[in-house]
Structure 1
């Protein structure tokens, strides 16, 4: 697996799994009916932020991540990121590789830490992954997320110092 900068040419391969993940409504706070143009604009970030893709040896996109400063101004020293792994390629370490890549990127860019603002507490796989890489839950917004099957659930804020 290789992780490289995403380009506009990658979007047609990202969009199908991006759309299905967003439409499922159980992990992202995006509108369930997010259209392709807005999804592309939200996901493919301009520098100094960045969006990357994880590809296999044949060039198939397995997953993607967007990395950015968490806030502007006096909060710009904290990074943030979001991840999507194509469900057809789950369980192969793609998510872990993308988070590890983000940690390296954030250190090299001079960030002091990484903060995830909205990790759905029922997304146990993501929470376990992040915790295994040194993140911890520093707060939970009660009923902060309306899950399509579980009802209102907590929305974790997770942090990892660099």
Structure 2
């Protein structure tokens, strides 16, 4: 039986420098579960939640692709299988969202908030884990990584 998310690209977004230990743990688990379900994990390519999601995907034998804000691959987290320098700065958040079939946001920061808003605005399925206090219509909130991946899978199935 094929994995539920084979051929799907799921972005995992969240804070880089301010991620808590709990958020890093959740992001690692999200990355691992997404990879086990057959998804390719997309991130912003840097540290924090991005690093943790890529590490989880790698641990499960999956693929993580990082879309970097700058022009130097050396700035990216080595847990990613592929690092793509965009030279777009924060504008790469829009590219990341448009390349994703779904988004899992773990934690929040100002950059993450822009990604959440872009997902909401463009209709990309969105699941939140440990978000800031946001409007009720932003999307489903999951209590943990397993529930987040299950919800993303359900949203992608239609």
- Which of the five TM-score ranges fits, normalised by the shorter chain? 0.3 to 0.5
Q: Which of structures 1 and 2 has the larger relative contact order (alpha carbons within 8 angstroms, sep 6+)?
A: 2
**Of Structure 1 and Structure 2, which has the larger fraction of its residues in helix?**
2
What's the TM-score, normalizing by structure 2?
0.34
